[in-house]
Structure 1
Amino acid sequence: MSTVYTRFDSPLGELLLVGDEASGGLLSVSVPEQRGGAVVLAGWREAPELFEEAREQLSAYFAGRLTRFALPYAPGAGTEFQRRVWGALEEIPYGGTVSYGWVAGRVGVAGAGVRAVGTAIGRNPLLVVRPCHRVIGADGSLRGYAGGPERKERLLTFEGAWADGRAAGDAAGRETGRNTAGRG
């Protein structure tokens, strides 16, 4: 596998986009100082021309013209369970929020599986593109985001899912008013 990368200036800071040259798929989208984020390694090649579609879609997203990404992902990332969890993230609509419990129910591990779901979400290598920022605590609080809580709040505010320190939609700050993906 030949790993390629480029950088993209965004409202969150400079994003590092990493891909697999052979498949043309994304491996990672990281923000500066991201917990567990990608760093450029020896042997990687800078190839901005291979990320034109990703750059266009990110530009459209940050301009408010794109609500769902349609980018190819490199094959083989994550465990089977992580891929199921990451797939559930892509069902959460723009401007919506869901709880970790909703995601756990969606992948068939409700209850005790919430912690495992949180761990899988924390290992999502495609920040912004695969919308893990749309998952909040059952009490409506911002919980865990590899890019940091400020960036999570910024993304949710940008999408209209967060206002005045709580999930948009009800005074208690829970997800009820904006959770168009369903409750769990």
Structure 2
Amino acid sequence: MKVLFLFAAAFAVGFFGSMYPGPVKLSVVQSVIQRNLRVGVWASVGASLPEIAGSVLAIHGVRWLQDVPDILIWFQWSAIPLLLLIGWLILRKKTAEQEQTEEDSLPADGSAFARALFLNLFNPQLIPFWLVTAVWFNSKPGLALNTFSDELAFVVGATAGSFCMNGVYAMMTDRHRDRILDRVNPHTIQLLMGWGFIALGVWQAVQAFA
């Protein structure tokens, strides 16, 4: 019973904690708009897998993170060039109409998967978020992670919750895809996506310097 309760609680945290529209969600939305829902689902899978690393480190790495506090600063800085590079690559790509003719020859699923995975893997909020969550869980007698089964339920629930929220973004984008494309041409969407990632990179740099 406790394992199911832990799974449900971690699922809820992973689901609602992934709600904010950051770089990862922008990547999922872009995958659906420029490709299709299937590619967006692959992006959602890639975006969710780093939650495994984040939640495991949060469970076992509290003391290690205290001994090596610079690791959090490194994650914060590492996200800056990644965001800027992705934005620059998007701006250099061909328009969506041109890409559509090459859809069968391009590894769209793998590209979307890898991009979303690396974006969340280098997300500077990933480890601190799950660290705070794990500490809170351990402070509650009914949620304390005392056994391997408890830890497994926490990790699986956190990852599943994140995947479901990413999937919601993908499905909502797919549902309104035609309406979006009717109002905004694909080239404009590509520009917005590219400059959006660059703006996020600049904002991350501002936060790092602050």
TM-score of the pair, normalised by structure 1: 0.29
Q: Hey, which of these two has a bigger chunk of strand by percent? A: 1
Which structure has the greater CA radius of gyration?
A: 2
Name the one with the larger helix percent. 2
Higher relative contact order (CA 8 A, sep 6+): 2
